[in-house]
Amino acid sequence: MKIGIVDYGGGNLRSVIRALEALGEKATLVSKPESLEDVSHVIFPGQGEFGDCARQLEERGLSQALIQWARADRPFFGICVGYQLLFESSEESPGVKGLSIFEGKVRHFAPTAKKVPHMGWNSASLSDSTNPYWDGLGEDPYFYFVHSYFPDHLPEEIVATRTHHGEAFVSAVSKGQVLGTQFHPEKSQKAGLKLIANFLKTTS
């Protein structure tokens, strides 16, 4: 196993690296398509604005490489904006295309939401507790969130967890070996480390 962390000039790389180190694992940074040839697992920790992240990926030639990786059903874990970019587009950046691995568009919380950004600990209710990604995490594990946007109108078959913050939203998706979470497992202590460890058990 060799873990690659997508480095597009942004993202919460240091926290992910520390989480992997806590699990006894090392990672290499993926900043160009050729770097993917040497890894078995990809983690994409997005941070910042949807459109800027998408442009940075495109400039580095990573967009198409990541699309091919995910569509080949190889181990891929998108976090926060890295999760949002799995979808088609976002209200945050009109006219900018996401990676379109899954159907769905990212939208802002409704005005009725409690507080935006949604920041802090919240539960993620599992759609299917037998999914191996969630092994050992219970029915409603708690994770750490920091976000104002989330993907909506998603195919039900990819929904892995739901969370409530003024309104219900999909806080994680999974299909095959592709996993995406709106929350930050690398900042979610024991539960987050367990989820990352479960992801790393997937085989390329």
pLDDT tens figures, 64-123: 999 999 999 999 999 999 999 999 999 999 999 999 999 999 999 988 767 899 999 999
pLDDT at residue 111, as a whole number:
80
Considering the domain 3-200, what is its CATH architecture?
Answer: 3-Layer(aba) Sandwich (3.40)
> What is the separation, in whole angstroms, between the first and last Cα of the chain?
9
Banded pLDDT at 177 (limits 50, 70, 90): very high
Instruction: With cut-offs at 50, 70 and 90, classify the pLDDT of residue 204.
Output: low
pLDDT at position 10: 76
The catalytic residue positions are 80, 184, 186
Per-residue pLDDT at 9: 84
Edge-to-edge strand list for the sheet holding 89-90:
89-90, 105-108, 149-152
Bridging pattern class, strands 159-164 and 125-126? antiparallel
| Contact by Cβ (8 Å): 81, 53 | yes
Q: What is the pLDDT of residue 89?
A: 98
d(Cα 173, Cα 196) in Å, to the nearest integer? 14
Which residue spans within the chain are E strands per DSSP?
3-6, 27-30, 41-46, 76-80, 89-90, 105-108, 118-123, 125-126, 142-147, 149-152, 159-164, 168-175, 178-181
pLDDT tens sequence across 37-58: 999 999 999 888 999 999 999 9
> What pTM, to 2 d.p., does this model score?
0.96
Instruction: For the chain, give the mean pLDDT.
Output: 95
What is the predicted pLDDT for the residue at 113? Answer: 63
143 has pLDDT over 80: yes
